[in-house]
């Protein structure tokens, strides 16, 4: 890489955003930050503005933007502060931006990620919901506007690295039998089923291998995170559900695998650190230093694999069902899960009620055809309303 890549980071104050900036800081000759965005973490955003001097900083709420603007002025920084979803779309599609890290968690990240694709950017996709909720529409957008899409999830990035360099979306033509999507199994892999009813938010957020936000940590504990990744893999690699096998791998050293028809299985291994897939995508097609320590195979010593149990992880079953149903169902699944996880974290319902709420919402709304992003957002809204209705009845 010789030419500087100009970067917008959507969700800069989250774990992916911070890891991205860590990689940027190691390569000041390769990357320049144009815009940073955040939801409500003013202190962290201010610190990032001090260190990287972006042209724009975007906060979602106007009141948060005003507070950041005053802090920017007090610190004598030359950063313009904006607010709102339209501003997120603006900085994702700036003419001089080359790369957009799409790392906003949840449905809030869809519109700016679409804006980046429509502007033909190199989109580094860490926002699951864009593909889960609107996979067909988004992939059509990427193709229509000649955007380049690289996955940041460690699993999908591992699959990308294990596929042929000229992979064109046909597993069969490239001699690929199936994708093996690894999962840690979360903190309750070996817990008794009876004990799950008494799980606390703190326990659910204590991931054994990865340092993640609370919502994603709960998704990992229910394995909904892996279910959403199955749906992502379907769209990223044009793989049918029967060609995507989830494999529980507690060490989180193998990040995913690709099995070929000749019996070969190619895997990408590394320490569980998101800077590896981030650096891979940011430097692609070249390799750049990430700051991640070398994998010590002697310390790892052994690798274990298990088949997931749908009784223990009903959210994974629901994700496969939503994928096979298609249309609005993945969006409904995702929205209901967001409300369910939020309700659990606020201690409004037990851990074991998460899949119960999701399945109820899916059954209540039923299948409807999706034609546009507007239809996706309507399905999202309807599912949230149905989830809140269920919660009111439950309480």
Number of domains in the chain: 2
Per residue in 144-189, pLDDT (tens digit) is: 999 999 999 999 999 999 999 999 999 999 999 999 999 999 899 9
Do 213 and 105 touch, CB atoms closer than 8 A?
A: yes
- Structure tokens that stand for 350 in this block: 């037990």
- Candidates 182, 189, 344, 207; CA nearest to 270 is 182
> What order do you get walking across the sheet with 99-102 strand by strand?
80-83, 56-59, 31-38, 5-10, 99-102, 122-125, 148-151
CATH number of the domain at 369, please: 1.10.1740.10
Please, what is the end-to-end C-alpha distance for the chain in angstroms?
56
Of the residues 98, 131, 151, the one at which a domain ends: 151
Evaluate whether residue 243 is within a structural domain: no
Residue at 206 is within a domain = no
Residue 35 belongs to a domain: yes
How far is residue 219 from each of residues 178, 313, 354, measured CA to CA in Å? Answer: 24, 11, 10
CA distance 185 to 190: 9
Could you give the CA distance from residue 210 to residue 338 in angstroms, rounded to a whole number? 20
Tens of pLDDT along the chain (395 residues) come to 568 999 999 999 999 999 999 999 999 999 999 999 999 899 999 999 999 999 999 999 999 999 999 999 999 999 999 999 999 999 999 999 999 999 998 778 999 999 999 999 999 999 888 999 999 999 999 999 999 999 999 999 999 999 999 999 999 999 999 999 999 998 999 999 999 999 999 999 986 666 667 888 899 999 999 999 999 999 999 999 999 999 999 999 999 999 999 999 999 999 999 999 999 999 999 999 999 999 999 999 999 999 999 999 999 999 999 999 999 999 999 999 999 999 999 999 999 999 999 999 999 999 999 999 999 999 999 999 999 999 998 86
Residue 368 lies in a domain: yes
Note the pTM of the prediction, 2 decimals: 0.92
In degrees, rounded to 5, the angle at the alpha carbon of residue 371 between the alpha carbons of residues 370 and 374 is 85
Does residue 227 fall inside a structural domain? no
Comparing CA positions, the residue from 38, 45, 35 lying closest to residue 80 is: 35
Q: Tokens 């938010």 sit at which residue?
A: 201
Nearest to 394 by CA among 352, 358, 349: 349
In a domain, 186, yes or no: no
Answer for the pair 336, 361: CB distance below 8 angstroms, yes or no: yes
Peptide bond into 285 cis (omega under 30): yes
Cα angle: 183, vertex 188, 189; to 5 degrees = 50
Task: Give the C-alpha separation, 155 to 245, whole Å.
Answer: 12
What residues make up the domain containing 391?
326-395
- Phi/psi region, residue 380 (left: phi>0; alpha: psi -120 to 50; beta: rest), is alpha
CATH of residue 32's domain is: 3.40.50.720
Q: Residue 350, class by beta-carbon neighbours within 10 Å (0-12 exposed, 13-18 middle, 19+ buried)?
A: middle
Domain edge (last residue) among 129, 151, 173: 151
**Domain final position from 103, 119, 151:** 151
Q: Considering the domain boundaries, does residue 354 fall inside one? A: yes
Give 196: exposed, middle or buried? Use CB within 10 Å, 0-12, 13-18, 19+: middle
Residue 43 lies in a domain: yes
304 Cβ neighbours under 8 A, 6+ residues apart: 249, 250, 251
d(CA 134, CA 125) in angstroms, rounded, equals 13
């Amino acid at each position: 890489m010789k030419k500087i890549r100009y970067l917008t980071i959507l969700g800069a104050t989250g774990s992916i955003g911070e890891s991205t900036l860590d990689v940027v800081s190691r390569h000041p000759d390769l990357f320049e930050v144009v815009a940073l965005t955040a939801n409500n973490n003013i202190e962290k955003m201010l610190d990032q503005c001090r260190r990287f001097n972006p042209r724009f900083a975007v906060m979602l709420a106007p009141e948060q933007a005003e507070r950041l603007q005053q802090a920017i002025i007090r610190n004598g920084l030359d950063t313009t502060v904006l607010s709102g979803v339209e501003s997120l779309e603006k900085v994702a599609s700036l003419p001089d931006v080359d790369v957009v890290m799409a790392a906003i968690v949840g449905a809030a990240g869809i519109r700016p990620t679409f804006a980046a694709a429509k502007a033909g950017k190199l989109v580094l996709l860490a926002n699951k919901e864009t593909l889960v909720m609107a996979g067909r529409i988004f992939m059509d957008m990427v193709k229509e506007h000649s955007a380049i899409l690289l996955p940041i999830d460690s699993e999908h990035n591992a699959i990308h690295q294990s596929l042929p360099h000229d992979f064109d979306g046909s597993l069969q033509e490239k001699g690929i039998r199936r994708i093996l999507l690894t999962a840690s199994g979360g903190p309750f892999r070996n817990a008794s089923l009876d004990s799950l009813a008494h799980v606390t938010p703190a326990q659910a957020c204590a991931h054994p291998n990865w340092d993640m936000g609370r919502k994603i940590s709960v998704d990992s504990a229910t394995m909904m995170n892996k279910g959403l990744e199955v749906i992502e893999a379907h769209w990223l690699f044009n793989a049918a559900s029967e060609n995507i096998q989830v494999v529980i791998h507690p060490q989180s050293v193998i990040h995913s695998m690709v099995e070929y028809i000749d019996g070969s299985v190619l895997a990408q291994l590394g320490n569980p650190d998101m800077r590896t897939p981030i650096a891979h995508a940011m430097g692609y097609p070249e390799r750049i230093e990430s700051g991640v320590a070398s994998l010590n195979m002697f310390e790892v010593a052994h690798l274990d694999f298990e088949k997931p149990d749908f009784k223990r992880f009903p959210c994974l079953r629901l994700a496969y069902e939503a994928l096979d149903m298609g249309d609005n169902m993945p969006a409904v699944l995702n929205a209901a899960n967001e409300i369910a996880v939020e309700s659990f974290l606020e201690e409004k319902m037990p851990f074991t009620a998460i899949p119960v709420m999701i399945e109820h919402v899916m059954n209540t709304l039923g299948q409807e055809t999706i034609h546009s992003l507007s239809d996706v957002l309507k399905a999202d809204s309807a599912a949230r309303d149905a989830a809140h209705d269920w919660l009111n009845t439950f309480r």
